[in-house]
Amino acid sequence: MNDRAEHPQVRTCVEPERTALILIDVINDMQVDGESERFARDALDAAHRIKALKSQAKAACIPVIYANDNFGQWRSDFAGVIRHCTADDAPGKPVSELLHPEDDDYFVLKPRHSGFFGTTLQILLRHLDRDTLILAGFAADVCVLFTAHDAYMREFGLFVPCDCVASVDAEANERALTLMSRVVKADIRPSDELKFEAVSGGPPTGFS
């Protein structure tokens, strides 16, 4: 049974004043045994669409939050993670450079798969007064999926544009999108079907 309409946080359109864009592990070394080259290639295709989505979101004054793994760099901060993922020998360097954060973006470092687990993400979203999330990033079948599940449990409305995610395995990517649509009631329409109305006042201020 499809109970999408019964969930209290289902959204049928993007309302900028209540929405945040969460970029999950887009700063990424993409060191995957035997699959780094293909994963980096697929992710780069998605990254170009994520960049366009981010520009649309900013034009509509939607805050952008990077929810990023530390990739085992336990003595590092976000700047250190960026340096690690843009090193010359990192397969994910082109993606990480393309989606490099801007000065007015927010960020949280996550120790595990979900953007909510062990992070300040929920507190930040409360501070920003947001109850709807657009999720984009890598990998759809792991960190995006876990973040979507945790967001649903916290009654956030969800958009996961199908062309703004990628996974190591293409079939797993499609299964994850189907699961997010069916189970956590995410709207998975492509990013070019999400329209943001530009508003006055400029983007919110991020951490310095």
Tens-digit pLDDT profile for residues 150-204: 999 999 999 999 999 999 999 999 999 999 999 999 999 999 998 776 555 544 4
pLDDT at residue 5 greater than cutoff 70: no
Question: In terms of C-beta density within 10 A (0-12 exposed, 13-18 middle, 19 or more buried), how is residue 7 classed?
Answer: middle
Is there a domain that residue 85 lies in? yes
pLDDT at residue 50 greater than cutoff 80: yes
H/E element, 137 = strand 132-138
pLDDT at residue 44 greater than cutoff 50: yes
Express each pLDDT in 83-127 by its tens digit: 989 999 999 999 999 999 999 999 999 988 999 999 999 999 999
Q: Which of 65, 146, 137 is nearest to 106 (CA)?
A: 65
pLDDT at residue 49 greater than cutoff 50: yes
Identify how many contiguous H helices and E strands the chain contains and give both numbers: 6, 6
pLDDT value, residue 197: 64
75 or 14, greater pLDDT: 14
pLDDT at residue 131 greater than cutoff 90: yes
Residue-by-residue DSSP string for 171-208: HHHHHHHHHHHHHS--B---GGG------TT-PPP---
pLDDT at residue 72 greater than cutoff 80: no
φ/ψ of residue 9, rounded to 5: -110, 15
User: Tokens 């090193």 belong to which residue?
Assistant: 87
Percent pLDDT > 70 in the chain is 88
CATH of the domain at 82: 3.40.50.850
As a whole number, the mean pLDDT across the chain is: 88
Is there a domain that residue 143 lies in? yes
pLDDT value, residue 184: 95
Is there a domain that residue 5 lies in? no
**Cβ atoms within 10 A of the Cβ of 44, count?**
16
Q: Find residue 107's DSSP bridge partners.
A: 66
166 or 9, greater pLDDT: 166
**Cβ atoms within 10 A of the Cβ of 109, count?**
19
pLDDT at residue 10 greater than cutoff 90: no
User: Tokens 């049974």 belong to which residue?
Assistant: 1
Is there a domain that residue 103 lies in? yes
Give the range of the structural domain holding residue 37, as residue numbers without chain letter.
15-193
The pTM for the full model equals 0.88
- Average pLDDT rounded to a whole number, residues 18-31: 95
Q: Is the peptide bond before 176 cis (omega within 30 degrees of 0)?
A: no
Q: Are 140 and 163 in contact (CB under 8 A)?
A: no
φ/ψ of residue 54, rounded to 5: -60, -40
Number of folded domains that form the chain: 1
